[in-house]
Amino acid sequence: MKLMALNLPRDMDENTLARLFKNYGNIKGCTLVMDEKTGKSKRFGFVEMALEHEGEIAIKALHGSKQGKEKIRVKKAD
């Protein structure tokens, strides 16, 4: 299941994002979207969970959770 994580802290890196989701199951891939001009995070990314039920668990656990000073949003990617 592919998930979209929004409103991520600007200083979060791909490894931190992957570790956050690994708490809820195996991940197949993780991508943090970066601004090409500045090299800084655009504050959202995608995580692909190995199993659909693990993705659902991650959404329930992480949507609305506080990461640093930010309240992140997690949803199924279209």
- Give residue 76's pLDDT: 97
Distance CA 70, CA 3 (A): 18
pLDDT string in tens for the chain (78-residue length): 999 999 999 999 999 999 999 999 999 999 999 999 999 999 999 999 999 999 999 999 999 999 999 999 999 998
DSSP structure string for 48-63: EESSHHHHHHHHHHHT
Secondary structure element (H or E) that encloses residue 21, with its range: helix 14-22
Distance CA 38, CA 55 (A): 31
Q: How long, in residues, is the chain?
A: 78
- Give residue 25's pLDDT: 96
- Give residue 78's pLDDT: 80
Predicted TM-score (pTM) of this structure: 0.93
Per the DSSP assignment, residues forming a β-bridge with 30 are 47
